[in-house]
């Protein structure tokens, strides 16, 4: 039972701590003071599932959205107001928050297509080819997804019913631009929107590096906004008015906004959700590696560090049945992280302070721990890795076997790298063409006589639910029943 599992897990952890403090250093190359991954037990895991929306960031983001639209009713908490963002207000916010140089009077929040083209042209031939290669792989996978769902129809009593699949009109894509430029996020979001068939794509990224602009050119973004945070989400949700004084064209409101971002991006997405669609509320990035005695500890360590260098709040998690493997991975993480350049080393070390390991009594418990956490990235580095992977139920993206590095998913193996975090993989998946598609149903009655059983069922069910108006609307289609509203009229005469 659960309590017995927790006792076993605690005993294994005590044995682990005893081992690493009594074994000679040259055996494991680790001691208790240098343990990089904090030992945890299964009982601790429920504490790891957190709300992705930061309360302070939510308050700040709400104020920014109100400032963007000074003439709207957002100041009265009506988030569904149709007012567009004011260009001068946006420029003021962008300068204040560092998106645009404060002293540059000629600065714009828009990046032209010519600037994106120039950024691409200035790349080396190898860099150009890398962007084109990743673009192609993401495009092929996304187009295959799009082809997997098609219009359909079936016969119903007296007619036909079906659904149509069509893209939304305008897509908004966010690519982070904080510690590192992320052109891969540009490709993952914009290319997927294009593969879905969206005719208009807006990209927002704060302080975009030349490689980010080059990726925007390759991906085919129609408009590039060089703003980030809540202000970027507000602009894509509500659109931006044209401004002749600033020489800025109108930016249309987007129907769907996708892409990862910081806590202000997440908070703002939670605020505009409903006015437009969003992909998900993303929290800190995370990887969970299930490893057994066959795992290559150098590769496991490298993968944990790759995740940790994302952000100081990222998490790297190791779940194993083998105490020795955890000890060796800890030693390898310490060795490898010290070899990183700055700022990567400091970022990874800070993230590792909230990363952890779990010793499990068997592979069943490893899988149970993983399913409970529903990690953004799940790596299986075990014997019979496909069999273990097939038993895992909750995750954002699954990477099976030693050679299926999570970083290959980051950089365009095909599947999208924008994935659910913070346990949300329990009920949703990663970004795909489906985020940009509308599956809308329709029905048609061609033969009134053949539809009569359906009409009578509708009349009866409506009255069972107490919805008399529904019943009478169905009776109006009946060949045998007199609608109750006609009886009422006859009675009054």
Task: Catalogue the active-site residues.
Answer: 376-377
Contact 20, 28 (CB under 8 A): yes
Using CA atoms, how far apart are residues 111 and 204, in angstroms rounded to an integer?
A: 10
Q: ∠ CA 241-245-248 to the nearest 5 degrees?
A: 45
What is the helix (H) or strand (E) element at residue 46, kind and residue range?
none
Contacts of 251 (CB under 8 A, 6+ apart): 110, 202, 223, 225, 235, 236, 239, 240
Contact 87, 243 (CB under 8 A): yes
Task: Show the tokens assigned to 126.
Answer: 């190898």
Q: Where are the beta strands (DSSP E) in 213-265?
A: 223-225, 256-258
C-alpha dihedral sign at 376, 381, 382, 387:
positive
Using CA atoms, how far apart are residues 396 and 423, in angstroms rounded to an integer?
A: 9
Distance of CA 211 to the CA centre of its chain: 22
Q: DSSP alpha helices (H): ranges in 38-172?
A: 55-68, 87-96, 113-121, 125-147
Residue 405 half-sphere exposure toward CB, CA atoms < 13 A: 16
What residue has token string 């009265």? 76
């Amino acid at each position: 039972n659960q309590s017995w599992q927790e006792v076993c897990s605690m005993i294994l952890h005590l044995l682990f701590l005893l081992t690493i403090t009594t074994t000679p250093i040259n055996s494991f190359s680790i001691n208790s003071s240098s343990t990089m991954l904090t030992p945890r037990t299964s009982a601790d895991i429920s504490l790891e599932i957190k709300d992705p929306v930061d309360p302070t960031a939510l308050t700040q983001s709400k104020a920014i959205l109100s400032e963007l639209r000074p003439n709207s009713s957002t100041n009265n908490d009506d988030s569904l107001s149709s007012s567009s963002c004011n260009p001068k207000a946006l420029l003021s916010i962008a300068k204040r928050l560092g998106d645009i140089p404060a002293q540059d009077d000629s600065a714009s929040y828009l990046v032209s297509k010519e600037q994106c083209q120039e950024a691409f042209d200035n790349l080396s031939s190898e860099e150009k080819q890398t962007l084109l290669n990743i673009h192609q792989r993401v495009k092929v996978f996304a187009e295959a997804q799009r082809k997997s769902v098609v219009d359909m129809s079936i016969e119903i009593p007296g007619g036909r019913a079906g659904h149509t699949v069509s893209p939304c009109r305008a897509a908004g894509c966010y690519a982070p631009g904080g510690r590192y430029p992320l052109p891969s996020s540009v490709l993952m979001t914009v290319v997927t929107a294009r593969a879905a068939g969206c005719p208009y794509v807006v990209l927002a990224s704060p302080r975009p590096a030349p490689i980010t602009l080059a990726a925007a050119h390759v991906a085919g973004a129609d408009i590039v906004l060089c703003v980030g945070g809540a202000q970027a989400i507000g602009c894509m949700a509500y659109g931006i008015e044209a401004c002749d004084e600033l020489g800025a064209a109108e930016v249309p409101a987007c129907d769907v906004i996708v892409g990862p971002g910081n806590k202000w991006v997440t908070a703002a997405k939670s605020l505009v959700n409903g006015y437009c669609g969003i992909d998900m509320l993303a929290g800190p990035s995370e990887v969970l590696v299930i490893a057994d005695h066959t795992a290559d500890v150098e590769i496991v360590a490298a993968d944990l560090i790759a995740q940790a260098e994302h952000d100081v709040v990222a998490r790297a998690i190791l779940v194993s049945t083998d105490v020795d493997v955890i000890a060796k991975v800890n030693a390898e993480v310490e060795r490898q992280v010290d070899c990183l350049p700055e700022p990567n080393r400091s970022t990874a070390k800070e993230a590792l302070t909230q990363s952890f390991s779990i010793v499990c009594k068997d592979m069943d418990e490893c899988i149970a721990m993983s399913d409970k956490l529903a990690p953004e990235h799940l790596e299986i580095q075990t014997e019979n890795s496909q069999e273990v992977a097939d038993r895992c139920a909750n995750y954002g993206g699954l990477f099976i076997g030693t050679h299926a590095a999570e970083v290959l998913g980051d950089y365009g193996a095909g599947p999208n790298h924008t994935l659910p975090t913070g346990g949300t993989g329990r009920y949703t998946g990663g970004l795909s063409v489906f985020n940009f598609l509308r599956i809308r149903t329709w029905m048609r009655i061609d033969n009134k006589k053949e539809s009569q059983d359906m009409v009578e069922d509708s009349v009866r069910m409506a009255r069972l639910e107490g919805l008399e108006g529904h019943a009478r609307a169905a009776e109006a289609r009946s060949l045998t029943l007199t609608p109750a509203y006609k009886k009422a009229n006859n009675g009054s005469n």
